[in-house]
Structure 1
Amino acid sequence: MFGNGNNNKLKIFSGRANRPLAEGIAKVLGVPLGRATLGDFPDQETSVRIDEDVRGRDVFIVQPTCTPVNQHLMELLIMLDAFKRASPARITAVLPYYGYARQDRKDKGRVPISAKLVANLITRAGADRVLALDLHAAQIQGFFDIPVDHLYAVKELAKHVRSLGIPQDELVVLSPDEGSIKKALDFQKNVGGQIAVANKQRTSATEIKHGHLIGAAVEGKRVVIYDDMISTAGTTVGAVNVAKHHGAKAVYVCATHGVLSGEAIKRLRDAPIDQLAITDSIPLPPEKQLPCIKVITVAALVANAIHRIHGNESISELFKDEPPIGK
C-alpha cells in the first residue's frame, strides 16, 4: 500500500500476543515482518533473540498485553530490553490493547494505580514512544513520560455499521452506561441516527444491574450499542436486554477490544444479539468464536499511523472530523 520509498529503515516486529495482526500491518506497509525468535525456557522464563540487524533502524514492536496479560506484558518488556541493547534509532511499542488500563486511579484506600506502573515499566524497559489503540481512559497517555500516539477504531466500526444499510430514521446508538456517553456520541457522529443511554448500576466487579433508558425511544428501532471493550459482557448484555425490553426490533453491538473473559461467551451466546462486531486488536481463539461475531481488522489503521510516525507526519490528520451523517 505504501511502497518502499521511506521504509528502508522501518522494521516491524511482533511478539506472540497477536502475530496475525502484525503480519497484516507489515503487509499494508509493504515491508517484511522482522525476524526474531521467541520462546520459553524450561522454567517458563521468556526467551528473546533478534535475528537481524536493527542498528540505526526505526523499530516498531506489535504486542497487545491481552490474556494471558502478565505473560504478554513480560514478553514485551524483555523484547524492549533486547532491542534497546541492539542500538536502533528509535523503538516504538505498538499496543493495540493496553492491559491494566482499568486500574487508572486510586478510587479506594490501599490500592495500586496499575496503569501508571505498567507505563513506567514500558518506559524503563526501553520504549521511546508508544502507539496505542482505544485506551480505556484517555488520561493514561499522561502516565507516560514519552510521546504517546492514541488511535481510535471508531471510523472502522462506523464504516461496518453503515454497510448494514440501517435507515437513519430507524437507527439509535445506545451507550451501555453513563460513563460511555462521550464514546457513543463520537460514534453517532459517524453513523447518524439518535442517541440513548442505558442506566447501569454495578452491584459487584462482575455483576451489573440495568434499569431505565434515557434519551431516544428504541421501540421498533434498530439499536447499535457501542463501547471501547467487552470484558465479562455484563454491561453489554444488560444494555442489550434493556433495549429488547423497550421494544428494539434488532440489536447490534460494536466494540474495539473483545477481551471476552469469564462468563462473556456464555452471556453473549444466550443474549438476543443480531451481530457483535469487534476488531482484531485482540486475537479471537476458536473456543470464543460465535456465529454472531464479526471481526473488523485495524491493520490498515495501525499501519497508516506507523507510516506517519516513521515519516514524522501528523497522526491527528487520521481523525479529522467529517460532516455528521445526515447533515
Structure 2
Amino acid sequence: MRRVKVFSGSSHPELAEFICEKLGIPPAAVSLKKFSNQETSVEIGCSVRDEDVFIIQSGSNHVNDHLMELLIMISACKGSSASRITAVMPYFPYSKQSKKKNHRGAITAKMVANLLSVAGVDHIITMDLHASQMQGFFNKPVDNLYAEPSIAKWIQDSVPEYANGVVVCKNAGGAKRVTSLADRLKIDFALIHADRSRGAHQAHRSPTVPGTPESEVVGSSDNNMNSDLFCYTSNTTADHIIPAIVNKKFDNNGEDDFNSSTSITTLSVDEETSSVITLVGDVVGKVVFIVDDMIDKSGSFIVAAEHLMKNCKAKRVYVIATHGILSDDSIKEIDRCRSIHQLVITNTFPIPSEKRSQSSKLVIIDISATLAEAIRRTHNGESISYLFHTAL
C-alpha cells in the first residue's frame, strides 16, 4: 500500500505486529516514553505529510495512560499534516460507561469520543462495541467490526458436536448477540437471568406464566410427564429447583405435544448471593456456549456455568467473549472451575504471557486478519461490509 503509515501505541504491540505482518508493511517509527514526572511524550519518527495514517491502540489495564498516549499521537500526526488519521481501537476504552447508571453519573464513553474528535481523528475502527448505539457518540465515521464470524468459525472447526449445542446468554442485555450467533450456527439458544431482588424464599414458589393454567405448571417429577424435559440438581439446593413448561404445544386432539420446540424454565437459588437463577431453554445433554462481548470479572460466568452443569445437566460448557479483560484473578478462578471446559477470547485486549500461562483452558482467537483487511479496504476506499459476515 502506498502513502500509508501504520503506527503502534504501547498498549498492544503484539496485535499491531500481527496486523502489519498481514499488510506486508513495517510499523512506522515513533518514540513513546514518559518524563520523570510521568507525563507522556510522543515523537513521530518519520514524515506523515499527506499520508494516510492508522494508529493501533487498544484499551488495556493501563487505560488512562494509553488513552492519553493515543490522543497525543493523533494530535502529533494532525500537526504534521497527515491527510487522514484513523484510530484502530479493537477494544474501545470506557465502553462499559455508555449510559448513566445513576442520576449524577457521567456518560464517559461519549466524553472519550469527544476527546478523540478534538484531538483530530478522522475515522475510528473498533470491534464489538459494548453498545452499538455508541457509534452515535461520534461526529466522525465509525466502523464497528464483529468478531462473530471468527468465533463461529472456531466453534465449527474445534467443537465437533456443536450442531447439538445451545448458545446461552447470561443476561437479557446480550440476547441480540446470542441469537445472531445461534442463527449463524443454526442451533438453539437459551437465556439465563439472575434476579437478586427476589430472595431465596421466592424459589419455593412456582413460576407464573401469563395465560398458563396452574395445572400446567409442573413442580415435581411425580407428574406423568416426560422426565427428560426437566432439569434437576443433586446438590443441597434440590428443594429449590422448580421446572416449568412454557409455550406448551397441543395437537389437534388436545393432547400434549412435547417436541424440541418446547421451552423449559428452570429456577434455582444461588445461596451465596441469595439470587434466583432462571434458565429459559433446554440444555440437557447438550454442549453449551455462554457468549458475551467481554469478560471482566469471572463471577457471573462461573455461576452460570455451575447452574448449567449441576442443575440443568448440560454436557459441557464453553465461555466465549470477544474482549478478555480478565481482571484480578479471574483467569485463575475460571481455570479452577470444573464446570467450564474452555475459555475462548480474541486478542483485542492485551493479556501478558504470565497471565496466559495461568490457565490451561484459555484459547485465544487471532482477529488481526480482520483488522488488517479493514485497514486495507479503508485506505483503498472499498466497502468493509464483507467483513461483517466473513471470517478471515
Q: Report if TM-score (shorter chain) is over 0.5.
A: yes
The superposition leaves residues 256-297 of structure 1 with CA deviations (integer Å, 9 ceiling, x where unpaired) of 000111342233122221111111101111342211001111
In the alignment, what sits opposite 1:214? 280
Structure 1: distance between partners of 2:296 and 2:276: 17
The superposition leaves residues 197-247 of structure 1 with CA deviations (integer Å, 9 ceiling, x where unpaired) of 1112368xxx895602112x1111111111100011222222211211211
| 2:142 is aligned with 1:77 | no
Alignment length (residue pairs): 312
Structure 1: distance between partners of 2:163 and 2:130: 31
Structure 2: distance between partners of 1:281 and 1:210: 33
Residue 320 of structure 1 deviates from its aligned partner by: 4.3
Asked whether the 8 Å contact 1:171–1:192 carries over to 2, the reply is no
Unaligned segments of structure 2, at least 5 residues: 198-272
Structure 2: distance between partners of 1:279 and 1:297: 6
Question: C-alpha root-mean-square deviation of aligned residues, in Å?
Answer: 1.8
Structure 2: distance between partners of 1:81 and 1:294: 37
In the alignment, what sits opposite 1:27? 21
Structure 2: distance between partners of 1:123 and 1:225: 36
In the alignment, what sits opposite 2:175? 181
| 2:292 is aligned with 1:227 | yes
Amino acid at match of 2:98: D
Asked whether the 8 Å contact 1:210–1:238 carries over to 2, the reply is no
Q: Secondary structure at the match of 2:167?
A: strand
Match of 2:145 among 140, 151, 159: 151
In the alignment, what sits opposite 1:325? none
Residue 177 of structure 1 deviates from its aligned partner by: 1.1
Amino acid at match of 1:225: I
Cα 1:24–1:123 change in 2 (3 A) is same
Comparing 230-239 with 68-77, greater Cα deviation is found at 230-239
Match of 2:308 among 213, 225, 243: 243
Structure 2: distance between partners of 1:13 and 1:149: 19
Match of 1:284 among 325, 328, 351: 351
Structure 2: distance between partners of 1:202 and 1:280: 33
Match of 1:140 among 134, 139, 147: 134
Match of 2:363 among 261, 277, 294: 294
Structure 1: distance between partners of 2:296 and 2:15: 20
Amino acid at match of 1:240: A
Alignment of 1:118-137 (within 5 A): 118-137=112-131
| 2:381 is aligned with 1:316 | no
Asked whether the 8 Å contact 2:149–2:389 carries over to 1, the reply is no
Asked whether the 8 Å contact 2:318–2:342 carries over to 1, the reply is yes
Residue 172 of structure 1 deviates from its aligned partner by: 0.8
Structure 1: distance between partners of 2:373 and 2:163: 34
Match of 1:260 among 316, 326, 338: 326
Comparing 190-199 with 146-155, greater Cα deviation is found at 190-199
Alignment of 1:4-153 (within 5 A): 7-153=1-147
Residue 169 of structure 1 deviates from its aligned partner by: 5.0
| 2:320 is aligned with 1:269 | no
Residue 88 of structure 1 deviates from its aligned partner by: 0.7
Structure 2: distance between partners of 1:34 and 1:22: 11
TM-score by length of 2: 0.76
Asked whether the 8 Å contact 1:221–1:248 carries over to 2, the reply is yes
Identity level (%): 42
Asked whether the 8 Å contact 1:172–1:196 carries over to 2, the reply is yes
Q: Secondary structure at the match of 1:200?
A: strand
Structure 1: distance between partners of 2:320 and 2:25: 31
Structure 2: distance between partners of 1:10 and 1:171: 44
Q: Secondary structure at the match of 1:241?
A: helix
Cα 1:202–1:115 change in 2 (3 A) is farther
Cα 1:67–1:168 change in 2 (3 A) is closer
